[in-house]
Amino acid sequence: MRYTASYIIRGKPELETRIRERQLDRLDYVVGPFLWTNEQGGRTAYDTDDYTAAVKRLFVAHLKHVALQPQDVDELFGDLPIGDAAFDRWWTTEVFQGIDESAPDVVEQLRRGGHLAALQQVGLPLVGA
């Protein structure tokens, strides 16, 4: 079965420190957090580790060749090889395999069960709107 996995990518404290120490505040956006998605599953030999490694490499390649200027890459990282080691040195990722629930589906389930009025009891006027 195919599904969309979500990856939350965050810079490690060492990356934030490096940006401050080198006075590269203009590059603080590389710390994130970032939310990336990837279509996974189906008829493939890939497992979760394979997909995660691919996303890590794509993230580093994207920063190095698309998001940052070459001089910014040099100033901040020096050599930034595209691979797991470079990613793992500067960032972390948390992976969510698919979606447990979506808000519209939950609203529909509550409506069908006759419990939608419970949303109005949370004290937020726009929730019941």
Using 50, 70 and 90 to split pLDDT, how confident is the model at 17? very high
Angle (nearest 5°) at CA 124 between 118 and 127: 65
Give per-residue pLDDT as tens, 87-129: 999 999 999 987 777 788 887 888 888 877 776 666 666 655 5
Positive or negative, the Cα torsion across 12, 14, 17, 21? negative
Domain ranges of the chain: 2-98, 100-129
Give per-residue pLDDT as tens, 44-59: 888 889 999 999 999 9
Using 50, 70 and 90 to split pLDDT, how confident is the model at 25? confident
Helix, strand, coil % over all residues of the chain, rounded to 5: 55, 20, 30
Stretch 12-26: mean pLDDT: 93
Could you give the 3-state DSSP secondary structure of residue 37?
A: strand
